[in-house]
Amino acid sequence: MSHRVGVVRFPGTNCEFDTIDAIRTLGGDAEVLWHADPSLKKVDAVVIPGGFAHGDYLRCGAIARFSPVMESVAAFALNGGPVLGICNGFQVLTEAGLLPGALQKNVGMKFLCSMQQIEFVSTENILGKGSTVGDCINIPINHFEGNFVCPPEALAELETQGQIVFRYTDNPNGSTRDIAGICNKDGNVVGMMPHPERATSALLGSTDGTALIQSFLTA
């Protein structure tokens, strides 16, 4: 795999180096893209990683979407470039309008960090290569605002267009229709609340994220 991945770093991002570690462990190459620099440094794919970009102040992702790098990410995505938003990155992508819907507070009104089982609903996207619809995998979640909401028309469209990528098998946060991850119509932009980079080591408890990152690296 000769893929070079750019991992966006906003002030307050905290999963950027974990994501880079996981990508490198799986044979990819990765580097940081500073939010204030519009250049994507000719990377082949972009990850917007987890964390608390700009402290999650105002709303998760609300300030981050205005960072200079995001215009370039949007253009890259429109050109079919692979873009993966993980957790806070998913929130940023919805705020930026690259994915529909929004993520609000968990129904239990608590932050949740736990291992969660999710099921592949569609594999026609940058994470699905090598997986089959119906595959169940264990990936940790780590969020307060992971409760996906979406206007009914947009939701119907997500369902009919195969844009729901993952559902929780045991909904932890009240997310509409158990949605854990979605993609855009072309499948090149994916947002998911669970953290695949946290499931890439047997020593740490799960390697189920490996297939997703490997798929991403060949997208």
Partner 1 sequence: MHFEVRIEVSPRDGIANPEGSTIERALPALGFEMTGNVRVGKVIRLQVEADSVDAAQSLVEDMCNRFLTNPVIEDALVEVLET
Partner 2 sequence: MSVAPEDASVHRALGLSDEEYEHIYELLERHPNHLELAMYSVMWSEHCSYKSSKIHLKRLPTDAPWVLVGPGENAGVIDVGDDIAVAIRIESHNHPSAIEPYQGAATGVGGILRDIFTMGARPIAVMDPLRFGPLDDPRSRWIAEGVISGVSGYGNSVGVPTVGGELVFDETYKGNPLVNVLAMGVLPAERLVLGQASGVGNLAILLGASTGRDGIGGVSVLASAGFDENSEDADKRPSVQVGDPFEEKRLLEACLELLDEGLVSGIQDLGGAGITCATSETASRGGAGMDVDVSAIHSREEGMEPFELMTSESQERMLAIVEPQHLERVLEISAQWEITASVIGRVTGNGQLRILNGFDGEVLAELPASTLHDDAPEYDRPIAPPDDLDQRRLTDASQGPVDCVENLLALVCDPSWVYRQYDHQLFLNTVVGPGSDGTLLRLRHPTSGNETGRGLALSTDGNHRWCYVDPYQGTKMVVAEAVMNIACVGAYPLAVVNCLNFGNPEHPEVMWQLSEAVDGMSEACIAFNSPVVGGNVSLYNETNTVDIAPTPVVGVIGMHPTLSEPPPSIGLPPDSPLLLLGQEAGPDASMGGSRWAWEIGGCKDGSLPTFDLAQAVRTAALVAESVQKQRLEAVHDVGEGGIAVAVAEMAIETGVGARLDGYDNHISMFNESGGRVLVVVPSDALEEFLEEAANKKVTAQVIGRTGGSSLEFGPTVKVPLDVLTAASRNKLPEALGQGTISA
> Is 35 known to be catalytic?
no
Considering the complex, what minimum distance in angstroms separates the CB of residue 192 from partner 1? 18
- The terminus-to-terminus CA distance of the chain in angstroms comes to 10
Alpha-carbon distances, residue 218 vs 2, 193, 214 (angstroms)? 9, 21, 7
State how far the Cα of 34 lies from the Cα of 11, in Å rounded to an integer: 9
Of the candidates 15, 87, 150, 183, the residue annotated as catalytic is 87
> Is 3 known to be catalytic?
no
Selected range binding partner 2 among 73-81, 95-103, 139-147, 161-169, rule: CB under 8 A: 139-147
Selected range binding partner 2 among 89-97, 111-119, 125-133, 151-159, rule: CB under 8 A: 111-119
Q: Assess 197 for contact with partner 2 (CB under 8 A).
A: yes
Spatial neighbors of 119 by CB under 8 A, at least 6 apart, are: 134, 135, 136, 137, 166, 167, 168, 169
Residues contributing to the site for partner 2 (CB under 8 A): 11-12, 14-15, 17-18, 21-22, 36, 51-52, 54-57, 108-114, 140, 142, 144, 195, 197-198, 200-205
